[in-house]
């Protein structure tokens, strides 16, 4: 059984962190459907250290969802270490639950890069190592890292992974695309195998595992310890169990609309239960559940204009996929 931080993974497919989507309700739903581990949306280390309520809300986890990794981002060693210490204190006092603290070295968004964080750090491997080393010293929890193949060339990840391992990282997740290439390449996950060969710590492969077939191929062709599925789980939380079944040689049918609607409603209930229900998030998830359904164009258009939770739920209940 693979380990990742303090987690023992009872499966090969984990849910990746997704800002705006991978909240506590969605993570619990993915765990129910076979995700071996989940990650929180990234939280700004600066804001955590300042006690920012919204950022602590993003980092909120519960016992039932374990194993879970809490992801943070930032560019300053001291701030990152302080954030790890603060998370560690809350975990020790039973307020939060986590198997590791995961450092984001992969986000390519403009605001994060301008702050010198996320994938901007891929251009400064020594700085990445000093952040990891400071976090490892401050944190009672293992530190893991999420990186990309490189900044603009796919060659740097194995060397970076080796440096991070030396700095004390307990695991590496590698997205095989570079920070600058967007989604231009559709396949090229050989770099994950190179990272796996370069280090002795567990490696999770990420990128493009959009269906069970691709998830299983990524796992077998890269020898990674587990596969991280992010966008492939949006609107399809059953992808973890269908991928795990396929790994055992069993092809499960695609979830029906009835099953998807039931999953959406369970997400709604969990969101209410854990206090994360909001129109914006619910609409974003609803859009994803409708994606690919025959005749969903009009429903998605109306969803775009829906203002309340009731309207969103009503549209989902009304929708019936066209027979093809």
* Active site amino acids: 107
Does residue 119 belong to the site contacting ligand FMN (CB under 6 A)? no
Tell me which stretch binds ligand FMN (CB under 6 A): 6-14, 150-158, 205-213, 259-267: 205-213
The distance of closest approach from Cβ of residue 6 to ligand FMN in the complex, given in angstroms and rounded to an integer, is: 19
Pick the closer one to ligand FMN by CB: 75 or 230. Answer: 230
- Cβ count within 10 A of residue 95: 12
Which position among 31, 33, 90, 146 is part of the footprint of ligand FMN (CB under 6 A)? 146
Q: Which residues pair with 228 in a beta bridge?
A: 14, 206
The distance of closest approach from Cβ of residue 315 to ligand FMN in the complex, given in angstroms and rounded to an integer, is: 22
Which position among 61, 230, 236, 244 is part of the footprint of ligand FMN (CB under 6 A)? 230
Beta strand 143-148 with 100-104 is parallel
Which position among 5, 106, 158, 202 is part of the footprint of ligand FMN (CB under 6 A)? 106
Question: If binding means CB under 6 A, how many residues of this protein chain bind ligand FMN?
Answer: 22
Tell me which stretch binds ligand FMN (CB under 6 A): 133-141, 193-201, 224-232, 265-273: 224-232
The sign one gets for the Cα dihedral 169, 173, 71, 247 is negative
Tell me which stretch binds ligand FMN (CB under 6 A): 102-110, 119-127, 159-167, 217-225: 102-110
What DSSP line would sit under 135-196, residue for residue? HHHH-SS-EEEEEES-SSSTTSHHHHHHHHHHTT-SEEEEESS-SSSTT--S--THHHHHHH
Phi, psi of 226, deg, nearest 5: -160, 165
Pick the closer one to ligand FMN by CB: 175 or 260. Answer: 175
For residues 161 to 200, the per-residue mask of contacts with ligand FMN, x marking binding by CB under 6 A and - elsewhere, is --------------x-------------------------
Tell me which stretch binds ligand FMN (CB under 6 A): 19-27, 241-249, 265-273, 300-308: 19-27
The distance of closest approach from Cβ of residue 296 to ligand FMN in the complex, given in angstroms and rounded to an integer, is: 20
Does residue 289 belong to the site contacting ligand FMN (CB under 6 A)? no
The distance of closest approach from Cβ of residue 204 to ligand FMN in the complex, given in angstroms and rounded to an integer, is: 10
Pick the closer one to ligand FMN by CB: 106 or 158. Answer: 106
Phi, psi of 104, deg, nearest 5: -85, 110
What DSSP line would sit under 94-151, residue for residue? TS---SEEEEE-----HHHHHTT-GGGGGG-HHHHHHHHHHHHHH-SS-EEEEEES-S
Distance CA 193, CA 195 (A): 5
Does residue 69 belong to the site contacting ligand FMN (CB under 6 A)? no
Distance CA 148, CA 206 (A): 9
Q: Which two tokens stand for residue 291?
A: 């994606």
Does residue 154 belong to the site contacting ligand FMN (CB under 6 A)? no
Pick the closer one to ligand FMN by CB: 54 or 318. Answer: 54
The sign one gets for the Cα dihedral 164, 166, 171, 174 is positive
Distance CA 254, CA 321 (A): 14
Q: Looking up tokens 């970076």, which residue turns up? A: 160
Pick the closer one to ligand FMN by CB: 182 or 200. Answer: 182
Instruction: Answer whether 289's CB lies under 8 Å from 263's CB.
Output: yes
Which position among 5, 125, 154, 207 is part of the footprint of ligand FMN (CB under 6 A)? 207
Give residues in contact with ligand FMN (CB under 6 A): 16-21, 41-42, 71, 104, 106-107, 146, 175, 206-209, 229-232
């Amino acid at each position: 059984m693979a380990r990742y931080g303090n987690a023992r993974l009872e499966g090969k497919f984990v849910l990746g962190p997704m800002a705006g989507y991978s909240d506590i309700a969605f993570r619990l739903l993915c765990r129910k459907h076979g995700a071996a581990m989940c990650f929180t949306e990234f939280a700004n280390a600066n804001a955590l250290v300042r006690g920012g309520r919204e950022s602590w809300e993003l980092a909120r986890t519960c016992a039932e969802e374990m194993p879970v990794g809490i992801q943070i981002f930032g560019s300053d060693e001291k701030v990152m270490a302080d954030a790890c210490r603060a998370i560690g204190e809350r975990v020790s006092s039973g307020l939060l639950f986590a198997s590791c603290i995961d450092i984001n070295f992969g986000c390519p968004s403009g605001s994060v890069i301008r702050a010198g964080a996320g994938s901007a750090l891929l251009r400064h491997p020594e700085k990445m190592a000093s952040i990891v080393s400071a976090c490892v010293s401050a944190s009672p929890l293992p530190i893991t890292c999420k990186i990309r193949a490189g900044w603009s060339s796919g060659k740097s990840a194995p060397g970076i992974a080796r440096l991070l391992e030396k700095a004390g990282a307990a695991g590496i997740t590698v997205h095989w695309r570079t920070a600058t290439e967007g989604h231009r390449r559709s396949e090229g996950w050989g770099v994950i195998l190179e990272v796996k060969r370069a280090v002795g710590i567990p490696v999770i492969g990420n990128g493009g595992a959009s269906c069970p077939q691709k998830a299983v191929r990524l796992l077998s062709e890269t020898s990674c310890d587990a596969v991280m599925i992010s966008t492939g789980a949006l609107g399809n939380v059953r992808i973890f169990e269908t991928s795990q079944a396929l790994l055992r040689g069993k092809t499960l049918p695609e979830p029906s609309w009835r099953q998807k609607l039931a999953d959406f409603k369970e997400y709604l209930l969990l969101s209410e239960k854990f206090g994360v229900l909001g129109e914006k998030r619910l609409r974003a998830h609803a859009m994803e559940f409708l994606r690919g359904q025959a005749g969903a164009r009009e429903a998605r258009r109306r969803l775009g204009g829906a203002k309340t939770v009731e309207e969103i739920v009503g549209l989902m209940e009304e929708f019936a996929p066209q027979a093809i």
